Chain A
Amino acid sequence: MGRLDGKVVFITGVARGQGRSHAIRFAEEGADIIGIDVLEPIAGSVSDPTTQADMEETVAAVEALDRRIIATKADVRSLEQVKKAVDDGVAELGRLDVVLANAGVSTFTGPTESLSEEAFTDLVDINLNGVWRTCAAAIPHIKTGERGGSIIMTSSAAGLTALANLGHYVAAKHGVVGLMRALALELAPHKIRVNSIHPTTVDTPMVNNEATFKLFRPDLDKPGVDDFLEAAKVMNALPVGWVQSVDISNAMVWLASDEARYVTGVTLPVDAGMLVK
Chain B
Amino acid sequence: MGRLDGKVVLISGVARSQGRSHALRFAEEGADVIGFDVLDEIKGSASGPATQADMDETVRQVEALDRRIIATKADVRDWAGVKAAVDDGVAQLGRLDVVLGNAGVFTAPSLAEDMEDDIFMDTLNINVAGVWRTAKAAIPHLKNNANGGSIIMTSSVAGLSGIANFAHYVASKHALVGLMRTLALELAPSQIRVNTVHPGTVNTVMVMNDVLARVFRPDLENPTADDVIAVAQQMNPMGADMLEPYDISNAMVFLASDEARYITGVTLPVDAGSMVQ
Contact = CB atoms under 8 A, between A and B. Distances in A.
A binds B: yes
Nearest to B275: A265
Interface in A183-204: 184-185, 188-189, 191, 193, 200
B269 to A, nearest CB: 5
B83 interface: no
A155 B181 CA distance: 22
Contacts of A184: 237, 273, 276
A93 interface: no
Nearest to B188: A237
Contacts of B269: 263, 265-266
A58 B240 CA distance: 38
Contacts of B237: 184-185, 188-189, 264-265
Nearest to A265: B276
Interface in B233-250: 236-240, 243, 247, 250
Interface in A221-277: 236-240, 243, 247, 250-251, 253-254, 259-266, 268-273, 275-277
Given A268-B266, A276-B264, A239 B188 contact: yes
A188 B238 contact: yes
B263 A262 contact: no
B185 interface: yes
A269 B266 CA distance: 7
B189 interface: yes
A187 to B, nearest CB: 9
A247 B181 CA distance: 21
B277 interface: yes
Contacts of B59: none
Contacts of A68: none
Given A254-B254, A261-B247, A273-B184, A240 B262 contact: yes
A62 to B, nearest CB: 20
A266 B65 CA distance: 33
A10 B272 CA distance: 23
A162 B264 CA distance: 19
Contacts of B270: 260, 262-263
B133 interface: no
Contacts of B254: 254, 259-260
A181 interface: yes
Contact of B239 (A188, A263, A270): A188
B265 interface: yes
B184 A254 contact: no
A234 B50 CA distance: 46
B251 interface: yes
Given A185-B273, A189-B238, A263-B251, A247 B266 contact: no
A247 B266 CA distance: 15
Nearest to B253: A259
B191 interface: yes
Interface string B70-90: 000000000000000000000
Contacts of B262: 200, 238, 240, 243, 247, 270-272
Given A188-B237, A259-B250, A262-B240, A237 B275 contact: no
Interface of B: 181, 184-185, 188-189, 191, 193, 200, 236-240, 243, 247, 250-251, 253-254, 259-266, 268-273, 275-277
Given A247-B261, A251-B263, 13 more contacts: A188-B238, A188-B239, A188-B272, A237-B185, A237-B264, A250-B259, A254-B259, A260-B250, A260-B270, A264-B237, A264-B273, A265-B237, A277-B265
